[in-house]
């Protein structure tokens, strides 16, 4: 570790990850995590990141909050364009609100511990083991790989399915109340082209029970976001909910869909 500008430089992920609690190098540990993820649809690894790393990331991120882009539009749960042929009432076209803010990958400092962890081979190998995949790759665009989300009071992330098969997140700062992660695992099998219109409608109409996932700052969270429908409820109180998303793909060269970029990112006017 070296210090500069009052910040510690995390030169490898050993300084940012609590290895004693989470021996990610061992196959047994990855197998156990994989089993837990399969059993519940979501995995929470408590105190995965060191307090020191979290403190630094929160300080750096708070500086960025003013530069965040706040989504103002509505979107469907599939994060795609609407299909007028189906009609406005069709489940495919039903709109939900997302109003949270976001800092894109290309706005995150080069020296951030988030990059050290994201790029670390052992971390990536561990994720492959837990997810049962043989390859893991960053997004090919310049905005999607590491994102920091900001949800000040009243801001939320509406019901949706992710573009990528799995999501890896870490809460940086918990709100006083609200900002609850709600989900329903395995609503559909996206790989098989399943749209699950009936279940999606039932969830939107609050006719199907949903689960909540509890996690604290520094916990690593993994879930299968392309098949699990999920949302984050509006933040209550003065403290902004802050969360980092580490986004990966199983294949190289993937860019986030245009529709998702248009909804969540500051995109140049066409």
Ligand X SMILES: O=C(O)CCC(=O)C(=O)O
Question: Which residues would be at the binding site for ligand X (CB under 6 A)?
Answer: 149, 157, 162, 167, 169, 181, 225, 230, 232, 243, 245
Total site size for Fe ion, rule CB under 5 A? 2
CB of 238 to Fe ion, least distance (A): 25
Paired sense of beta strands 220-223 and 74-75, if any: unpaired
Q: Which listed residue (123, 225, 227, 246) binds Fe ion by CB under 5 A?
A: 225
Q: Which partner in ligand X, Fe ion, none is near 17 (CB below 5 to 8 A by kind)? A: none
Residue sitting closest to Fe ion (CB): 162
| 116 versus 263: smaller Cβ distance to ligand X | 263
SS (H, E, C) the chain: CEEECCEEECCCHHHCECCCCCCCCCHHHHHHHHHHHHHHCEEEECCCECHHHHHHHHHHHHHHHHHCEECCCEECCCCCCCCHHHCCCCHHHCCEECCCEEECHHHCCCCCHHHHHHHCHHHHHHHHHHHCCCCCECCCCCCCCEEEEEECCCCCEEEECCCCCCEEEEEEECCCEECCEEEECCCCCHHHCCCCHHHHHHHHCCCCCCEEECCCCCCEEEECCCCCEEEECCEECCCCEEEEEECCECCCCCCCCHHHHHHHCCCCCC
- Torsion region of 161: left, alpha or beta (phi above 0 gives left; psi -120 to 50 gives alpha): beta
Q: Which partner in Fe ion, ligand X, none is near 245 (CB below 5 to 8 A by kind)? A: ligand X
* Per CB under 5 A, 156 contacts Fe ion: no
| 30 versus 244: smaller Cβ distance to ligand X | 244
Annotate each residue in 167-206 with x if it binds Fe ion (CB under 5 A) or - if it does not, as one string.
----------------------------------------
CB 221 within 8 A of CB 215: yes
CB of 2 to ligand X, least distance (A): 32
Q: Which partner in Fe ion, ligand X, none is near 13 (CB below 5 to 8 A by kind)? A: none
Q: Which range of residues in 5-13, 18-26, 126-134, 156-164 is near Fe ion by CB under 5 A?
A: 156-164
CB of 37 to ligand X, least distance (A): 16
| 218 versus 225: smaller Cβ distance to Fe ion | 225
| 111 versus 236: smaller Cβ distance to ligand X | 236
CB of 230 to ligand X, least distance (A): 5
Q: Which range of residues in 69-77, 92-100, 138-146, 162-170 is near Fe ion by CB under 5 A?
A: 162-170
* Per CB under 5 A, 162 contacts Fe ion: yes
| Positions 96 through 135 that interact with Fe ion (CB under 5 A) | none
CB 184 within 8 A of CB 204: no
CB of 1 to ligand X, least distance (A): 29
Question: 130: closest CA among 265, 5, 248, 268?
Answer: 248
Using CB under 5 A as the criterion, which residues of the chain lie in contact with Fe ion when the complex forms?
162, 225
């Amino acid at each position: 570790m070296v210090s500069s500008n009052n910040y510690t430089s995390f030169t490898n992920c050993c300084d940012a990850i609590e290895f004693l609690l989470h021996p990610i190098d061992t196959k047994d540990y990855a197998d156990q995590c994989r089993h837990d993820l399969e059993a519940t649809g979501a995995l929470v690894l408590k105190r995965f990141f060191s307090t020191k790393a979290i403190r630094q990331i929160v300080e750096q991120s708070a500086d960025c909050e003013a530069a965040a882009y706040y989504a103002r539009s509505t979107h469907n749960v599939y994060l795609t364009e609407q299909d007028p042929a189906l009609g406005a009432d069709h489940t495919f076209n039903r709109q939900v609100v997302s109003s949270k803010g976001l800092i894109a990958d290309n706005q995150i400092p080069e020296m951030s511990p988030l990059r050290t962890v994201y790029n670390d081979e052992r971390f990536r190998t561990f994720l492959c083991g837990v997810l049962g995949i043989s390859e893991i790759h960053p997004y090919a665009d310049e905005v999607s790989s590491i994102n920091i989300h900001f949800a000040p009071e009243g801001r939320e992330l509406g019901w949706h399915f992710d573009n990528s098969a799995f999501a890896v997140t870490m809460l940086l700062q918990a709100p006083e109340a609200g900002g609850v992660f709600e989900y329903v695992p395995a609503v559909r099998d996206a790989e098989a082209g399943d749209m699950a219109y009936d279940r999606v409608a039932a969830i939107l109409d609050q006719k199907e029970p949903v689960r909540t996932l509890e996690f604290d700052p520094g916990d690593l969270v993994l879930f299968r976001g392309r098949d699990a429908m999920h949302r984050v409820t509006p933040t209550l109180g003065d403290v902004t909910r802050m969360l980092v998303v580490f986004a990966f793909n199983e294949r190289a060269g993937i860019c986030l869909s245009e529709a998702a970029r248009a909804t969540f990112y500051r995109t140049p006017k066409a």
